């Protein structure tokens, strides 16, 4: 596996220098942030990021994300044009050494939480989704914003989008994903890039919007649309694991065996009885998933893709982007490194 770390570019309070000091760090996961979805990524911006990473002994070979324009997901009139730009962006990334591109197909909102700073008894804070709080959130009535969301929509635009998605429904979204994959995957294949779709987070419909990358049956359906390692998963343990119906270690074993995981996001969640969840430290004993079994499923199946510690808590007084502080993600990386070393060595004994 190749260990990686997400970096939000020059606006990120965490320096590449610090990232390079995390044991076993190999790749930087980032994106060009100065363009809107649907626009071409300037070559100079990709080249600059590549150089900044190299100057710090790191490799910029994973993109997270090239966002998919809502009009692609909705199958609007200019969909062909937008998919064409998407393909050109894949080609441009490949020119600068990118091997894996993460994206998602979630309507309007990316990952959703109801609170970003829930304090634990030890004083650390983390992201949570409480079912009670979710019931009271209504994007049709109030202007809610989360750090993972495209903040550029006005309230009226959000209303219009929610309406448009309710008209196409789940099957409409599937058809639009199919069209997208059938054009994008051959381009990715040609330039040696693996496309890695991120599961919906949480893995069920929210605000009445369709969500389709949620469970084993749907992931099978998505992978079958184009049967190629270029059409792969960014298997996010926390996203899939926040649905009690998903057995994450089985999913990891199955898709890694099929060579359809390009990228692993490893994080822990603690499931609550009412369907909500709390993010917590990476350790197995802190949450609902057995991290040892997840890593073992990867080493047993010869996984050689990218791994990144995903969301951490805010600890040691750190202030920063919720879920994306340095300290707890670095602890997560160290823990994941240890699990990999133990599993790999045990195999050889």
Measured distance CA(250)–CA(344) in Å, rounded: 19
Q: Site for ligand DNO (CB under 6 A): which residue of 64, 249, 279, 328?
A: 64
Binding mask 193-232 for ligand DNO (x = CB under 6 A): -----x----------------------------------
Number of Cβ atoms within 10 Å of the Cβ of 101: 27
Q: What is d(CA 295, CA 266) in angstroms, rounded to the nearest whole number?
A: 9
Residue 126's beta-bridge partner residues? 118
Size of the site for ligand DNO (CB under 6 A): 13
When asked if residue 103 is in the footprint of ligand DNO (CB under 6 A), the reply is: yes
Q: Counting contacts by CB under 6 A, is residue 104 touching ligand DNO?
A: yes
For strands 277-280 and 268-271, give the pairing: antiparallel
Is 324 catalytic? The answer is yes
| Token reading at 8 | 């939000």
Which of 236, 280, 306, 335 is the catalytic position? 236
26 is catalytic: no
- Residue 102 as a binder of ligand DNO (CB under 6 A): the answer is yes
Q: Is 30 in the site for ligand DNO (CB under 6 A)?
A: no
113 belongs to the binding site for ligand DNO (CB under 6 A) = no
Q: Is 198 a catalytic residue?
A: yes
Catalytic entry in 103, 310, 328, 335: 310
Are 7 and 28 spatial neighbours (Cβ–Cβ below 8 Å)?
yes
CA distance 130 to 313: 17
50 binds ligand DNO (CB under 6 A): no
Q: Which is nearer to ligand DNO, 18 or 149 (CB)?
A: 149
Q: Is 102 or 232 the residue whose CB approaches ligand DNO more closely? A: 102
CB 221 within 8 A of CB 252: no
Q: How far is the CB of 236 from ligand DNO (least distance, A)?
A: 6
How far apart (Å, rounded) are the C-alpha atoms in residues 190 and 186? 6
Q: Pick one of 107, 139, 148, 281: the residue that binds ligand DNO (CB under 6 A).
A: 148
Please confirm, yes or no, whether 274 is among the known catalytic residues: no
**Residues of span 281-300 touching ligand DNO by CB under 6 A:** none
Q: How far is CA 218 from the centre of its chain?
A: 17
3-class secondary structure, 133: helix
Distance in Å, CB of 185 to ligand DNO, minimum: 16
Strand bridging mode 125-129 / 115-119: antiparallel
Of 71-79, 98-106, 247-255, 271-279, which part binds ligand DNO (CB under 6 A)? 98-106
Considering only residues 321 to 340 of the shown chain, the ones binding ligand DNO according to CB under 6 A are: 323
Does 126 contact ligand DNO by CB under 6 A? no
What torsion, rounded to 10 degrees, do the Cα atoms 181, 260, 187, 211 define? 20
Residue 130 known to be catalytic: no
- Print the binding letters for residues 155-194 with ligand DNO: x by CB under 6 A, - otherwise: ----------------------------------------
3-state secondary structure string across 155-169: HHHHHHHHHHHHHHH
3-state helix, strand, coil in the chain (%, to 5): 40, 15, 40
Residue of 265, 296, 313, 329 that binds ligand DNO (CB under 6 A) = 265
Does 65 bind ligand DNO (CB under 6 A)? Our answer is yes
Q: At what angle do helices 216-225 and 155-190 cross, to 10 degrees?
A: 50
CA 122 to chain centre: 28
Name the residue number minimizing CB distance to ligand DNO.
65
Q: What is the dihedral of CA 150, 153, 159, 162, to 10 degrees?
A: -30
Hey, which residues are catalytic here? 198, 236, 265, 310-311, 324
Q: Interface with ligand DNO by CB under 6 A: which residues?
A: 64-65, 102-104, 110-111, 148, 198, 236, 265, 311, 323
């Amino acid at each position: 596996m190749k260990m990686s770390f997400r970096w939000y570019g020059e606006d990120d309070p965490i320096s590449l220098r610090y990232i390079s000091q995390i044991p076993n760090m190999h790749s930087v996961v980032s994106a060009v942030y100065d363009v809107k979805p649907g626009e071409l990524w300037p070559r100079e911006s990709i080249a600059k990021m590549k150089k900044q990473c190299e100057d710090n002994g790191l490799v910029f070979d994973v993109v997270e994300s090239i966002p998919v324009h809502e009009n692609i997901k909705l199958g609007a009139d200019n969909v062909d044009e937008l998919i064409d730009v998407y393909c050109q962006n894949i080609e441009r990334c490949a020119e600068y050494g990118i091997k894996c591109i993460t994206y998602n197909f979630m309507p309007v909102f990316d990952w959703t939480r109801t609170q970003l700073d829930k304090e634990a008894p030890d004083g650390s804070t983390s992201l949570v989704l409480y079912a009670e709080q979710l019931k009271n959130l209504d994007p049709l009535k109030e202007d809610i914003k989360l750090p993972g969301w495209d903040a550029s929509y006005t309230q009226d635009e959000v209303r219009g989008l929610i309406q448009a998605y309710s008209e196409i429904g789940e099957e409409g979204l599937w058809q639009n994903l199919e069209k997208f994959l059938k054009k994008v995957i051959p381009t990715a294949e040609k330039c040696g890039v693996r496309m890695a779709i991120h599961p919906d987070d949480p893995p069920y419909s929210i605000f009445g919007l369709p969500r389709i990358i949620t469970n084993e049956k749907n992931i099978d359906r998505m992978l079958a649309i184009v049967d190629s390692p270029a059409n792969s998963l960014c298997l996010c343990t926390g996203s899939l694991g926040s649905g009690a119906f998903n057995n994450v270690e089985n999913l990891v074993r199955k898709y890694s065996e099929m060579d359809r995981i390009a990228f692993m996001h490893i994080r822990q969640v603690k499931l609550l009885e009412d369907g909500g969840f709390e993010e917590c430290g990476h350790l197995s004993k802190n949450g609902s998933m057995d991290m040892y079994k997840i890593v073992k499923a990867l080493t047993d199946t010869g996984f050689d893709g990218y791994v990144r510690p995903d969301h951490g808590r805010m600890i040691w007084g750190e202030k920063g982007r919720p879920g994306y502080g340095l300290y707890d993600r670095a602890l997560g990386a160290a823990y994941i490194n240890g699990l990999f070393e133990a599993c790999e060595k045990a195999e050889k004994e």
